[in-house]
């Protein structure tokens, strides 16, 4: 009897191990990149976001425009050589934009070279009517964004028309953008022009671009919320990432003098002077509310 019980338990354990192995394996796409595992998708994505519509008193001034810098890159090469299928996280991009739109602001969509915006479509909340609506409304701009070089050439003299620069998150924000001199130029322009800068999760990796060519880090001493490197180091265990990140973001910013206020990938948001940041996808709704409220209070 004991032997039968032991064999039965061993069989159950074997089945559990096989199931865990299968559900935690990143899923390979046609181009050879990997999207998150079945388990990771179940844990980290939703069909409906936590967006809560708010009736704002709409902004009526001249500074209506917000430049949104998206990534145009899909695949991130991890330390083990595997490619992570990434881009901009749809909830991190679209929830803040929903709030800012409702507050009366308008968007100019840009990518570094003008190639189409790339989203992590595996994270898209397919049943969310509000997210689907703004995505459909801006889809043509996502497909044909402005190149940052064109923005720099045509819009730097129009400071009076802009309220903010927004850099959404998603791991794709770490591909090329931290090394892009144009991104650094735009962020320095916003900072020196007293415009707001809004970002969340991995989006603050763009702030590293302000230090290119030995420039001083413009956000030294600022409080900010950023996705923790410690969490990124853990996610390969459940197959969210197919390997370890080629670089981190929170520790680099901290070493430059940023005051990172969160240690978890939670809903932390913070505004410090003209910088408004959030910690993770869980902060998307609160970041949108904080950004809309702050801009309305400061610009009206």
Q: Is 155:162 a contact under the CB 8 Å cutoff? A: yes
Judge whether 206 counts as a catalytic residue.
no
Bridge-partner residues for 223, per DSSP? 259
| pLDDT tens per residue across all 300 residues of the chain | 555 554 454 444 444 434 444 578 999 999 999 999 999 999 999 999 999 999 999 999 999 999 999 999 999 999 999 999 999 999 999 999 999 999 999 999 999 999 999 999 999 999 999 999 999 999 999 999 999 999 999 999 889 999 999 999 999 999 999 999 999 999 999 999 999 999 999 999 999 999 999 999 999 999 999 999 999 999 999 999 999 999 999 999 999 999 999 999 999 999 999 999 999 999 999 999 999 999 999 998
Which 3 state secondary structure label does DSSP give 48? coil
**Cα(94)–Cα(142) distance, integer angstroms:** 12
pLDDT of residue 19: 44
Distances (CA, A) of 121 to 126, 219, 243, 261, 268: 9, 31, 20, 29, 24
- What's this model's pTM, rounded to 2 decimal places? 0.93
Contacts of 164 (CB under 8 A, 6+ apart): 66, 67, 105, 190, 195, 196, 197, 198, 291, 295
Which 3 state secondary structure label does DSSP give 165? strand
Q: Which domain holds residue 103?
A: 2-299
CATH code, domain with 122: 3.40.50.880
Go through 258-285 and write b for each residue having 16 or more CB atoms within 10 A of its CB, e for each that does not. Answer: bebebeebebbbbbbebbbbbbbbbbbb
pLDDT of residue 22: 58
pLDDT of residue 24: 83
pLDDT of residue 1: 58
Q: Would you call 114 exposed, middle or buried from its count of C-beta atoms within 10 A (0-12, 13-18, 19+)? A: middle
The number of distinct structural domains making up the chain is 1
CA 47 from centroid of its chain's CA atoms: 18
The pair of structure tokens assigned to 141 is 């701009």
pLDDT of residue 125: 98
Go through 20-34 and write b for each residue having 16 or more CB atoms within 10 A of its CB, e for each that does not. Answer: eeeebebbeeeeebb
Max Cα distance, the chain (Å): 84
Given 110, 148, 201, 225, which residue is catalytic? 201
């Amino acid at each position: 009897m004991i032997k039968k019980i032991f064999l039965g338990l061993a069989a159950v354990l074997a089945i559990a191990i096989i199931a865990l192995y299968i559900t935690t394996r990143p899923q390979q796409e046609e181009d050879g990149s990997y999207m998150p595992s079945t388990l990771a998708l179940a844990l980290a994505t939703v069909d409906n976001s936590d967006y809560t519509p708010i009736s704002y008193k709409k902004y009526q001034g001249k500074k209506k425009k917000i430049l949104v810098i998206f990534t145009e890159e899909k695949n991130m090469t991890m330390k083990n050589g595997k490619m992570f299928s990434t881009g901009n996280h749809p909830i991190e991009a679209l929830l803040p934009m929903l709030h800012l739109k409702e507050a009366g602001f308008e968007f100019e969509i840009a990518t570094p070279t003008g190639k189409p915006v790339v989203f992590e479509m595996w994270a898209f909340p397919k049943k969310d009517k509000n997210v689907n609506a703004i995505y459909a409304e801006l889809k043509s701009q996502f497909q044909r964004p402005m190149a940052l070089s064109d923005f720099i050439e045509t819009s730097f003299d129009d400071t009076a028309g802009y309220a903010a620069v927004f850099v959404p998150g998603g791991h794709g924000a770490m591909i090329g953008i931290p090394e892009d001199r144009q991104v650094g130029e735009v962020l320095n322009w916003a900072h020196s022009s007293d415009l707001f800068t809004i970002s969340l999760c991995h989006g603050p990796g763009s702030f590293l671009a302000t230090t290119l060519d030995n420039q001083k880090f413009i956000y030294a001493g600022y409080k900010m919320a950023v996705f923790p490197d410690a969490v990124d180091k853990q996610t390969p265990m459940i197959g969210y990432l197919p390997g370890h990140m080629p670089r981190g973001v929170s520790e680099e910013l901290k070493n430059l003098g940023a005051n990172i206020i969160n240690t978890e990938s939670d809903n932390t948001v913070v505004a410090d002077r003209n910088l408004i940041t959030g910690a993770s996808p869980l902060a998307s709704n609160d970041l949108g509310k904080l950004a809309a409220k702050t801009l309305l209070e400061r610009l009206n």
